[in-house]
Structure 1
Amino acid sequence: MTTVQETAAVRYGIWVFCPVLGAAAVWGLKLAAGWITTLEWFPFQGVFELITDIPEPWATTAAVALGAIAGGVLALMWAAEMMSVEVSHDRVTLRKDDKTFDFGRNEVESVFAEGKQLVLLSPSGAELARETSDLSKNRLAEAFRSQGYRWCDADPFANEFRMWVEHAPELPADVNALFTARRKAISKYENEEAAELAREIRKRGVYVKDQKKRQYYRCER
């Protein structure tokens, strides 16, 4: 079995790097608060004036604590986006956040990467999974090829995708409703919500991908 995942330095380092970076950033902003209050054009003057009124050492302590907490939240979001891929002759397993996607060897006919997305295709051309990660495309290709899977350099069904428009006549009403909800999630940068809605759309035999915040789809054959 071959496992592809982020390096240990990344998986564990984010829990140190992000809080330290957040603490440093907010502490720096606190140091600059006095200067910022002299810039009449700068927004949120009341906030920075309030910061300058907080006595030391409480101002520094609060700045560092808030920055570290914000950094911890960033690390949590980063960790949720990480994915590990386990490839064997018998199975392919994708793990992301608290979700596991498991497929038998006979279910997976071919695999490719499109941008940051790993896509698994069935023998009929159905998309089994389309998941985003920062994993190396070369490492993924090597892992699948070493276990005997067909790795494609591009999407063999790329020409079948068309741009989604409101109330697309080709699609059922419930699928159009999911596309509408997904468009709102994309506009609000709610990536996990958009991914979950894409999975719901996939269950209905429609496959979706994004290009410049536009949704494109193809239907199951």
Structure 2
Amino acid sequence: MTVVMWDGATVVAVPVWERVLIALGFPALGMAAGWGLIAVADRVVGLDWAPFQGPFRLIAKIPEPWATLGAVALGLVAGVLLVLTAIGERLTVTVRHDAALLARPDTAARTVARRDVAAVFTDGKALVLQGADGAEHAREVSDLRQADLRAAFTAHGYPWRADGDPYADRFRLWVPDLAGLPEGANALLAARAKALKKSDAAESAVLLAELHRLGVVVRVEKGRQYWRTANPA
């Protein structure tokens, strides 16, 4: 990871070399996969036990060089799409004495004021900024190293918790129509379960923000949602 001091702030981000590797590597792998598909198509058609005989027979009938050129081009497009997805999901954390900014290339930066942060910790791969009332002002999943994040936040006086979430034992597994939730929370959690299943990060984030408005804190483990209310004392 890259940790940079700039204009009184500490920036934690994915290093440039990794971004270059993604930008060049994914398209190259995509083209190689397309070429490999054409190379094995004739062999697969000759194997009666091999699956997907229909698609491979169709591919084998395409004349050369159009089959190879088309497969390589499709692999290139797939690789570029993967690059855009991967780079768009990369989190950059900028820590200042008065605020922390969490940004991704494809979304607006989220700013959390220092005065609103009572605890900073990691929960698995998620960076969490928590308020004094137990509410979460940010929960962002990334591949940034915990050591780099800890160094950045402690350098600016934020209260880093090495032991993690102080309210971890208060989370409960959510199931449909669960009692004890604020009005409207069950419907939001049900909608978010569908969004998570579809890997719709944007919709999931919108629904999570609405849950936060109701005072409900949510974490996800192995596709399941666990919840607790803010003001847990």
Bigger shift: residues 35-44 or 19-28: 35-44
Letter in 2 for 1:99: A
Residues 86-105 of structure 1 correspond to what in structure 2 (within 5 A)? 86-96=94-104, 97-105=106-114
Residues 66-145 of structure 1 correspond to what in structure 2 (within 5 A)? 66-96=74-104, 97-145=106-154
Q: Which residue of 1 aligns with 2:5?
A: none
Q: Which residue of 2 aligns with 1:167?
A: 177
CA deviations on 1:77-99 (whole Å, 9 max, x unpaired) are: 11122100000111100002222
Q: Which residue of 2 aligns with 1:7?
A: 15
- Cα displacement (A) at 1:173: 4.2
Q: Does the 8 A contact of 1:83 with 1:95 survive in 2?
A: yes
2-side partners of 1:42 and 1:199: how far apart?
A: 48
1-side partners of 2:45 and 2:140: how far apart?
A: 46
- Cα displacement (A) at 1:124: 2.0
- Cα displacement (A) at 1:106: 0.7
Q: Which residue of 2 aligns with 1:35?
A: 43
Extract unaligned runs of 5+ from structure 1: none
Q: Which residue of 2 aligns with 1:20?
A: 28
- Cα displacement (A) at 1:170: 1.2
Q: Which residue of 1 aligns with 2:228?
A: 218
Q: TM-score normalized by structure 1?
A: 0.94
2-side partners of 1:4 and 1:175: how far apart?
A: 34
Q: Secondary structure at the match of 2:64?
A: coil
Q: Does the 8 A contact of 2:118 with 2:131 survive in 1?
A: yes
What do you get for the CA RMSD once the two structures are aligned? 1.4
1-side partners of 2:196 and 2:14: how far apart?
A: 25
Q: Which residue of 1 aligns with 2:203?
A: 193
1-side partners of 2:124 and 2:50: how far apart?
A: 39
Q: Does the 8 A contact of 2:188 with 2:207 survive in 1?
A: yes
- Cα displacement (A) at 1:67: 0.3
Q: 1:13 to 1:196 in 2, by over 3 A?
A: farther
1-side partners of 2:99 and 2:228: how far apart?
A: 26
- Cα displacement (A) at 1:68: 0.7
Match of 1:203 among 203, 207, 213: 213
Number of residues paired by the alignment? 221
Q: Does the 8 A contact of 1:167 with 1:173 survive in 2?
A: no
Extract unaligned runs of 5+ from structure 2: 1-8
Q: Which residue of 1 aligns with 2:69?
A: 61
Give aligned-pair identity as a percent. Answer: 44
Q: Which residue of 1 aligns with 2:167?
A: 157
Match of 2:58 among 50, 63, 73: 50
Q: TM-score normalized by structure 2?
A: 0.90
Bigger shift: residues 188-197 or 148-157: 188-197
Q: Secondary structure at the match of 1:150?
A: coil
